[in-house]
Amino acid sequence: LHPFIQQSVTSTCTGRIEPEEQSGHSEQRASPARLPFGKKQLPPIPKNAAPITKPASTGTLAPSANGTHASYGPFYLEYSLLAEFTLVIKQKLPGIYVQPSYKSALMWFGVIFIRHGLYQDGVFKFTVYIPDNYPDGECPKLVFDIPVFHPLVDPVSGELDVRRAFTKWRRNHNHIWQVLMYARTIFYKINTTEPLNPEAAVLYEKDVQLFKSKVVDSVKLCNSHLFDQPKMDDPYAISFSPWNPAVHEEAKERMFTYKRRPDDHHKGTQVSGLSWVKPGSMQPFSKDDSPPQS
């Protein structure tokens, strides 16, 4: 339904040596062919999927109580998530890449590259879980595949303490890209209040040198597991593999040359609009090249 998702992810990966995206190219072969319609997996229907709408200003009609609109709940949810995803693309967050999973639009795979600071050279894979009553539920969760040594990351589950930044998730104000942005920020500005990992917090306060060496160890650990199989068995999971020119050279080339053209997805609908309006005039046929007529 929305091929641009993959393409967008691909096209944003223009950093240095970035992950080989399993999902980008090889996935097209690997992933089972999807039917155009009907096979898209969506999360369950929220029990109260009826979007909360502002009271109709015109007072014409209240939404009918027959529940018709509830059957479209999955569509609303999917499009809300698509909208979130386009927002992420638009933000062009430095060093962050995400991709919704094949199985559920509510689960996004991601990876973050830390380019300087204490966590420099860290490559941390993570998964974002979005509640199924989005956007009216809690804030999304972000869980690192390997628990990074960090005051705000749970040393066991790897979950980032997102809630401290989004005490209440507000529709229209909070967006998933902000969560991703927040995940990046914690590696550059360390906060130790109410830590999920007290050890890390204490060390940071009392013995920065030891903290630093622990961080270096943690980064090494994470990077040593980089080529592991993805935790989740999902065609769109992000996986890394060592550089193999036979596989990657071509992909890299395409990545760097690829420009998304607007008409890529729909060939055959060759249309071009018409305009003889001189900019700023708001008058029809005001352009200079309009032929003189009576």
Partner 1 sequence: MASMVANGNPDGPSLVLKGVDPETCMIVFKNHWSQVVKILEKHDPLRGTSTLPSLSVLNLSGGPRFGPVPGDEASAVQNYVEHMLFLLMEEESGQAGAMGPILEFVVMENVMERLFVWSLRREFTDDMKLEQLKMYEMLAGQARQPLLHHKPILRPLIMLLSSCSGTAAPQVEAELVLLLNQLCCVLAKDPSILELFFHTSEDQGATNFLIFSLLIPFIHREGTVGQQARDALLLIMSLSAENERVAKHIAENTYFCPVLATGLSGLYSSLPTKLDFPSADWHCLHKEDWLRVPSLVQFLNSLEFCNAVIQVAHPDIRDQLVSYIYKGFLVPVLAPALHKLTLEEVMTTTAYLDLFLRTVSEPTLLQTFLSFILLHRHENVHILDTLVSRINTPFQLGTVSLALFRTLIGLYCEDVMLQLILRYLIPCNHMMLSQRRVVGERDCYSVSAAKILALTPSCCSPDHSPPPLRQLDSILFSKGAETPNNTSATEERESFVEDDDGSGNSCTIGSEIYLDVSYLHYLYDARLSISSCIKACQVWSAPYDGEDPPPEKYQPGVLEEPGLKSWQTQMAFKRVPHPLAPRPCPPPRTEPPSITQQELEWDDSYDACPVQTGQAPVEPKRPQPPPAEPPKHIQEMRKTAIMFVQGSYIEENEFQDDVMVYDLVAKKDTRDIESVRLKSSGSEPGSAEVPLKNGLSLTLPTSVMADKNTSDTKAKGQTDCNSHLQNTTAAEPGDELLAQYEELIRTLDTKAGGKQFRPDGEFKKPVTPAEEDEDEEEEEMDFTSFSAETPEPEKLQSPFGPKFGSGSVGRKTSAPFTGPFVSVLLSRLENMQSNTLQVNLLLTGILAQLAAYPQPLLRSFLLNTNLVFQPTVRSLYQVLATVKNQIEEQSATRTDFPELITAAQHWLLARETSLTAADDSRSSAHGEAARMRKSSPPPKPKAISLERTEVFATVLFTEFLKELAAIAQEHSILSYIPMEE
Q: Please, which of residues 142-171 interact with partner 1 by CB under 8 A?
A: 143, 145, 156-159, 171
In the list 17, 60, 229, 242, the residue contacting partner 1 (rule: CB under 8 A) is 60
Q: What is d(CA 218, CA 34) in angstroms, rounded to the nearest whole number? A: 39
Q: Give residues 217-246 in contact with partner 1 (rule: CB under 8 A).
A: 231-232
Residue type, 142: L
Helix (H), strand (E) at residue 99: strand 96-100
Query: Minimum distance from CB of 175 to partner 1 (Å)?
Result: 8
- How far, in Å, CA of 134 to CA of 130, rounded? 7
Rank residues 89 and 118 by Cβ distance to partner 1 and give the closer one.
89
Closest contact distance (angstroms) between CB of 226 and partner 1 is: 17
Enumerate the β-bridge partners of residue 129: 107, 141
**Piece of the chain touching partner 1 by CB under 8 A; list 112-120, 127-135, 184-192, 203-211:** 127-135
3-state secondary structure (DSSP) of residue 46: coil
Q: Rounded distance, CA 244 to CA 147, Å? A: 29
- Find the shortest distance in angstroms from Cβ 188 to partner 1: 25
Q: Which of 137, 186, 125, 178 is nearest to 161 (CA)?
A: 186
Give the residue with the Cβ less far from partner 1, 143 or 165.
143
Scored b (16 or more CB within 10 A) or e, 284-294 reads eeeeeeeeeee
Residue among 17, 29, 33, 193 that touches partner 1 (CB under 8 A): 33
Contact flag: residue 74 with partner 1 (CB under 8 A) = yes
Counting contacts by CB under 8 A, is residue 292 touching partner 1? yes
Encoded one letter per residue, x for contact with partner 1 by CB under 8 A and - for no contact, window 178-217 reads ----------------------------------------
Stretch that binds partner 1, among 29-37, 161-169, 199-207, 248-256 (CB under 8 A): 29-37
Q: Is residue 259 a contact partner of residue 7, using CB atoms and an 8 Å limit?
A: no
Cα–Cα–Cα angle for 151, 154, 156, nearest 5°?
Answer: 135
